[in-house]
Amino acid sequence: MIKLYNTKAREKVPFESRERGKVGMYVCGPTVYNYIHIGNARTFISFDVIRRYFMWRGFDVTFVQNVTDVDDKIIAKANEEGREASAVAAEYTAAFIEDMRKANVLDPDIRPKATEEIPAMIELIQELIDGDHAYEVDGDVYFAVRSFPAYGQLSGRNVDEMECGHRELRADGKGIEDRKRDPLDFALWKAAKPGEPSWESPWGQGRPGWHIECSAMSRRYLGLPFDIHGGGADLVFPHHENECAQSEAACGCTFANYWMHGGMLQINAEKMSKSLGNFMLLRDVLETTRPEVLRFLMLQTHYRSPLDFSDERLAEAEAALGRIENAVRNLDWQLENVEDVPSPLDTRELMKRAKEAKVSFILAMDDDFNACRALGEVFDLVADVNAQVTGKTLSLSDVPIVREVRDTIVELVGVFGIDVAAAADCDESDAYPAEVVPLAADVAGYVGSDASEAVEALLAARTEARAAKDWGRADAVRDGLCALGFVIEDTPQGPRVSLA
């Protein structure tokens, strides 16, 4: 049984979906006024992995993620750049989708935009007014926090001990603290300000507050109560607390059955911020880092724990992922070079280990999606497989078992959105340095211009030299290739070469 940490319960609890075999997930999306940073990406990748695991376990997942395309920050950006807020939102919405796809994050099943859901928000606000949970003041509408006794339960706060966390401003720029019935009350609808986006409503022209959009969208597309509401830990209060309060006040029922929140990301053990000069955009990171490596790094820390991001940790993640990719690449090569010889393997033990690894992987992921522990099970399997097959010629009879073990490794890592088979299938010769061609011409008499052919010529020359006991020429080939970053492995089927 899957157990997950429910923020509201403050403990790990068994997961029971509202509808058997189906999961409804709502994860808060971006406010599109800029490119997303690496901290945003961590949250989205974490919930992508959780979604993928549910799917792998056979659940039919409906995943909803909103786009906040009307907001004070978008309006400020538009004014700063002298263009329409809608143009700013459209640009960064497209950029967000592009960045997510580059990071191999699955598209949501439904991606509602705030500006396209205004009627649903107005309907919900009116329900709150009718139920005496909200009130209107000169075109603004506020939620009456103390009208909902359970306010504070999600974040574990006592409403009587709270202070007004942020000074709100009316759309006309005047302070509103003296206009609200209680300093804790928050805006559901903001009266229009000249030059800003606005929509007609029963309270006049205006636009929605931030919190109301997720309540309206999740109710419309998932129904209440839905299964899982997710986001970063920074959203627990006030955003998710306010969502929960306004939604449950309106419907008189539970809003979301489970609340999940991802941990924050630090850069070199420091909080990421523009003032510290360590602010990193996802698209900039992906310019120099494979998305598989980025995902792998994030998997190495539990999704609820703080994650330290650094160049050193990226390098470690690349090396660790490389061990799995190389294991699959080596198995593929061995499967392509089998011979009709007695089996050198204990195939029964190999199959047993693959099955044990899969069970242990599931147990780890069932325990609040413990991806780092699940990865450890994959590494253990890879180590056991390498111990059996390295340096050996596979028998024809080994093929079915070895292929199944290989496919198990690929399948388990694939749950995390990382395709190690694709990396193994990648033609490494495309990355061969051009300097290998003149080396082959000098040492092996190669007269072409193709790097892959040049490497083959060098390996052939080395084999001939060794057979003739011309150790000087054989060493020249080896040293020349090693200097260019190649690794030569001598196998019973002949020499193999790869890039280090």
Sheet containing strand 307-309, edge to edge, reads 270-271, 265-267, 307-309
Please state, as a whole number, how many other Cβ atoms lie within 10 Å of the Cβ of residue 12.
12
Q: How far apart are CA 144 and CA 180, in angstroms?
A: 9
Order of strands, sheet of 60-64, starting from the edge strand that comes earlier in the sequence: 60-64, 22-27, 226-232, 256-262
DSSP state of 160: G
pLDDT tens string for the chain (500 positions)?
999 999 999 999 999 999 999 999 999 999 999 999 999 999 999 999 999 999 999 999 999 999 999 999 999 999 999 999 999 999 999 999 999 999 999 999 999 999 999 999 999 999 999 999 999 999 999 999 999 999 999 999 998 887 654 444 344 444 545 679 999 999 999 999 998 999 999 999 999 999 999 999 999 999 999 999 999 999 999 999 999 999 999 999 999 999 999 999 988 877 777 667 778 999 999 999 999 999 999 999 999 999 999 999 999 999 999 999 999 999 999 999 899 899 999 999 999 999 999 999 999 999 999 999 999 999 999 999 999 998 888 999 999 999 999 999 999 999 999 999 987 666 566 678 888 888 888 888 888 888 888 888 888 888 888 888 888 888 888 888 888 888 887 776 678 787 76
How far apart CA 299 and CA 313 sit, in angstroms, is: 12
- The pTM (predicted TM-score) of the whole model is 0.88
pLDDT score recorded for residue 167: 41
For residue 168, the model assigns a pLDDT of 43
Q: Give pLDDT, residue 114.
A: 98
Interatomic CA distance for residues 205 and 192, integer angstroms: 5
pLDDT at 270: 77
CB 14 within 8 A of CB 40: no
- The pLDDT of residue 91 is 98
Q: Supply the pLDDT for residue 175.
A: 52
* CB 324 within 8 Å of CB 420: yes
Give the DSSP H or E segment for 140.
Answer: strand 140-143
Give the residue carrying structure tokens 């392509």. 336
